[in-house]
Amino acid sequence: MPSERPQFPSINAYRGRFAPSPSGLLHFGSLIAALASFLDAKSFVSANGNSGKWLVRIEDIDPPREQVGASSAILTTLEAFGLHWDESVLYQSQQSEIYQDTLSDLQQQNRSYYCQCTRAEIKTLGGIYQGHCRTLNHSKYNSAIRLINQYGLYQFNDVFQGKVDCQQALAKEDFIIHRKDGLFAYQLAVVVDDIYQNINHVIRGCDLLEPTARQLTLFATLNSPAPEYGHVPLAVTTNGYKLSKQNKAPSINNNNPQPALIAALIFLGQAPDPKLVNENVDDIICWAINHWSRDKVTKVKEINIE
Ligand code: GLU
Ligand code: ZN
């Protein structure tokens, strides 16, 4: 275990997680987020010598966007890449009851309201939701549920990016926590689960920088301490698109994980010895844990990988 890593005086147990949505297979962009969150957890050393725990949560709360077989394919890929998780995998599809309880509590405490505005209506009103339905007392039918955003938190200290200022107007919006189509919103589910799993470190890609503001507000509303956040650069292609399932980034090869693993370490600024590519996966991961340095991660939001 590395010794140069500073210990957090207030935290004796690091709990991090990787939370993929099964809308497609793991791609190079999600491998980077998985690897960064894994290495940050596993290189942590607590006062009594324990490394951090790294959990995997499958965010399968949006059935229409789900790809059949993706959940198990993602898990198989993580294992092939030597990213072994602690505890059992949590599936958001199993968590409806706890989301509903949280939602009911928020409703009882008058921290939310029904909204019937359509996307088009909000767009004509300038794109930022101004609380139009706050006092209209709509019924639950054909309504979304919005959080009364009493904190509007928009600043935080990011492990990699330093001081981050999110867009204030968006951060202060009464955002949706339960969708009109009956599904729980990502913001609600992710925060409820981070609390449920006692997560104190969230390391992920810069595509989720802006949502962090809303999540901080939800933690405050739910009277829960927020985790530390760290956002690593996003891998983008020449045309500026985020590498994602949508633009058909090549899926990574479970039978030959070394090259992608080394490429991901280079992307994260960890400067692995190129010869490591000839080692087995567990040795590469072991090297990466021992050499993980937050300071080496490039402080930009995007890196072009073509
Ligand atoms: N499920 C989200 C995604 O795949 C990530 C959630 C998170 O890391 O907070 O984009
Ligand atoms: Zn409305």
Question: Relative to the alpha carbon of 59, which ligand is closest?
Answer: 1
Residues with CB under 6 A from ligand 1: 19-21, 59, 190, 204, 208
- Which atom of ligand 1 is closest in space to residue 207's alpha carbon? 10
172 burial class (0-12, 13-18, 19+ CB within 10 angstroms)? buried
Going from N- to C-terminal start, the domains of the chain cover 15-110+151-170+185-304
Contact 175, 187 (CB under 8 A): yes
Class of domain 15-110+151-170+185-304: alpha beta
Q: Model pTM?
A: 0.92
Position 7 scores a pLDDT of: 40
SS3 state of residue 187: helix
Position 2 scores a pLDDT of: 36
> Which amino acid, residue 208?
L
Cα separation of 6 and 124, whole Å? 50
Centre of ligand 2 to C-alpha 286, Å, is 51
Position 115 scores a pLDDT of: 98
Question: Relative to the alpha carbon of 118, which ligand is closest?
Answer: 2
Position 304 scores a pLDDT of: 80
> Which amino acid, residue 95?
Q
Cα separation of 226 and 212, whole Å? 10
230 burial class (0-12, 13-18, 19+ CB within 10 angstroms)? buried
Each residue's pLDDT, cut to its tens digit, for the chain (306 residues) gives 333 433 444 567 999 999 999 999 999 999 999 999 999 999 999 888 899 999 999 999 999 999 999 999 999 999 999 999 999 999 999 999 999 999 999 999 999 999 999 999 999 888 899 999 999 999 999 999 999 999 999 999 999 999 999 999 999 999 999 999 999 999 999 999 999 999 999 999 999 999 999 999 999 999 999 999 999 999 887 665 555 544 444 548 999 999 999 999 999 999 999 899 999 999 999 999 999 999 999 988 988 876
Contact 159, 230 (CB under 8 A): yes
> Which amino acid, residue 169?
A
Position 151 scores a pLDDT of: 95
Centre of ligand 1 to C-alpha 274, Å, is 30
Centre of ligand 1 to C-alpha 21, Å, is 6
Instruction: Quickly list DSSP for 58-98.
Output: E----GGG--TTHHHHHHHHHHHTT-PPSSPPEEGGG-HHH
- Which atom of ligand 1 is closest in space to residue 204's alpha carbon? 8
Centre of ligand 2 to C-alpha 137, Å, is 10
Question: Relative to the alpha carbon of 55, which ligand is closest?
Answer: 1
